[in-house]
Copies of this chain bind each other. A is one copy, B any other.
Amino acid sequence: MNIPLTPLRFLRYAEQQYPARTAIVCNQDRFTYAQFAGRVGRLAGALRQAGIQAGDRVAFLGANCHRLLEAYYGVPEAGAVLLPLNIRLAPDELAFILNDSGATILFVEKQFLGLVESFRKSLRTVKMFVQLDGSPDVPWLDPRNYDALLAAATPHRADISSIDENSLAELFYTSGTSANPKGVMLTHRNIYLHALNVCMGFQIENGAVELHTIPLFHANGWGVAHFLVLLGGKHVMIQRFETKEVFRLIETEKVHSCSLVPIMATALVNCPERRNYDLSTLRRIVIGGAASSPTLIREVEQQLGCECFSGYGLTETCPSLTISPMKSGLGWEGEQRYVGQAMTGYAFPGTEIRVVDADDRDVPRDGQAIGEIIARSDGVMEGYWRQPEASAEALRGGWFHTGDMATFNEEGYLLIVDRKKDIIVSGGENISSLELEKAILAHPAVLEAGVIPVPDEKWGEVPKALVVLKPNATASESELIEFCRARLSHYKCPRSVEFVDSLPKTGTGKILKKDLRKKYWQGKDTIRPDFGAPASKTKSGA
């Protein structure tokens, strides 16, 4: 018997088994699984009555809210494809995504009406705008808001057995630092199996209580959302990360777990008011989105009183690929355990990881050799929306190429050292620009540093550091090079240092190394190879 694998089954199961359990807590609203499923059925009905047909894209622009979680089920229940939009994108990016995806309906929170107004006229496919909360009072909005549409709708339930498990359920756009955003196509089967794999990897308890600290429109937001429904867990929504509100919700709702980026975790451990709250229900905090540190892992464990480890994944992989708790039997003790749990981690069930050189040959699993992480798992996307060439490139040889450079050790733990495009290949050796930057930043006079490869006759390329000094501080080129040599292997150290007033950065504060490199590579016969399809990292990185 083949029953299609679709996340809709998760909600069907929860509704059958746990109808009276609290499913969602969202500000003053609380919904049981029976109510949640009822609203999802009405959302699906409303979409069909609005003319949505199989495969149509339905966009949502909003912060964490029960309505966005309802969309995770209601949109596929209507046979359509959910397109959650990142509320932090620029107007032209949002317009690009809506046009590229061909979305026909856009649901939008009141607070983002002005944002939508700013690019609304450039939209080519959106025919209907629905306000999620409050009363619509601008003419381009449908006169009924989301709840009014639901109230008027005849519920619709998909016939599970007629669903094609390989059809699209969700479309998420990567942030795209070097090109236009690309739509990551996730099928019903991708999402179903990913949820099961993650659930087994994390060993999540039935009825778990999760605080959704990460936006649901982000990859590691939605990864949790699905398996938690299967387990009849409680979804606690938070719209804006604010330490005291986080503590209050943990105490009030008896939260078991949440996912954090490092800066959130740091804020929680540094917030003295945490002592005023009962955090004893906390069992697990997963740190992702950027590299963690052993110190941060230790501080979270000691000060919040729960297990803490790293997780890593990408939008293209649904997202989860690895986690870093200690495998039973390893016997890490003391600081060793924090070091291990700050690593990128080992593969989830259902997931295979390799670390390979430029020809896709495995590098030694010695914790030293650096290569690109490639992955094969049930969660790996079908491809990029309407980009067959970029899809084929990213998925060449049947493996997804993450663009993340890492070491791999005998115990199966990865440690990300750099993005592929930022790695420096000098005389055949891989040098991590991040490792080098970390070394330079340890010098007391240095405020910021960016390390890039520059062309070299003999070595192909060598590392160069661009450095911003602290106000009134001084340091010479040779002093900084010596400083690095005292800390790192000789071959890894910068051959030259250039002092600059500032470094070009993205809106989120990342150094634009592409721009830094340009000057040194322009007009060279040797073109620095471009490294495949850039993948968008969403959880732990380096």
Contacts and interface: CB of A to CB of B under 8 A. Distances in A.
A511 B378 CA distance: 48
Contact of A328 (B1, B207, B327, B352): B207
**Among A18, A206, A349: residue with most chain B CB under 10 A:** A349
Interface string A309-329: 000000000000000000111
B206 A328 contact: yes
A376 interface: yes
Which DSSP category, helix, strand, loop or mixed, fits chain A's interface?
loop
A203 interface: yes
A13 B189 contact: no
A329 B18 contact: yes
Given A1-B376, A20-B329, A196-B200, 16 more contacts: A1-B378, A1-B395, A1-B398, A13-B347, A16-B347, A17-B347, A18-B329, A21-B329, A161-B398, A200-B200, A200-B230, A203-B206, A206-B327, A206-B328, A207-B329, A232-B328
A152 to B, nearest CB: 30
10 A-B pairs closest in CB distance: A1-B380, A207-B328, A196-B196, A17-B412, A21-B329, A3-B378, A230-B349, A206-B328, A199-B200, A13-B349
A3 B329 contact: no
A382 interface: yes
A380 B1 CA distance: 5
Interface string A399-438: 0100000000000100000000000000000000000000
Interface string A333-353: 000000000000011011010
Nearest to A14: B349
Contacts of A329: 18, 20-21, 207
Nearest to A190: B1
Given A1-B378, A200-B230, A207-B329, A352 B16 contact: yes
25 contacts: A1-B377, A1-B395, A2-B189, A3-B350, A5-B193, A12-B352, A13-B347, A13-B352, A16-B347, A16-B352, A16-B412, A17-B327, A17-B347, A18-B329, A20-B329, A21-B329, A161-B398, A196-B200, A203-B203, A203-B205, A203-B206, A206-B327, A207-B328, A207-B329, A230-B349
A381 interface: yes
Contacts of A203: 203, 205-206
A166 interface: yes
A9 interface: yes
Given A21-B329, A207-B328, A207-B329, A381 B200 contact: no
A342 to B, nearest CB: 19
A512 B13 CA distance: 38
Contacts of A230: 200, 349
A30 to B, nearest CB: 14
Interface in A201-240: 203, 205-207, 230-232
A42 to B, nearest CB: 22
B200 A3 contact: no
Given A18-B327, A327-B17, A381 B166 contact: no
A346 B205 CA distance: 17
A321 B400 CA distance: 36
A478 B38 CA distance: 55
A382 B13 CA distance: 23
A376 B159 CA distance: 14
Contacts of A1: 190, 376-378, 380-382, 395, 398, 400
Contacts of A380: 1
Nearest to A187: B2
A3 B379 CA distance: 9
Contacts of A412: 16-17
Contacts of A349: 13, 230
A356 B17 CA distance: 18
A400 B3 CA distance: 13
A133 to B, nearest CB: 30
A350 B1 CA distance: 12
Nearest to A166: B2
Given A18-B327, A412-B16, A350 B395 contact: no
A231 to B, nearest CB: 8
A376 B3 contact: yes
A174 to B, nearest CB: 17
Interface in A226-256: 230-232
Nearest to A200: B199
Contacts of A328: 206-207, 232
A189 B189 CA distance: 13
Contacts of A18: 327, 329
Nearest to A318: B1
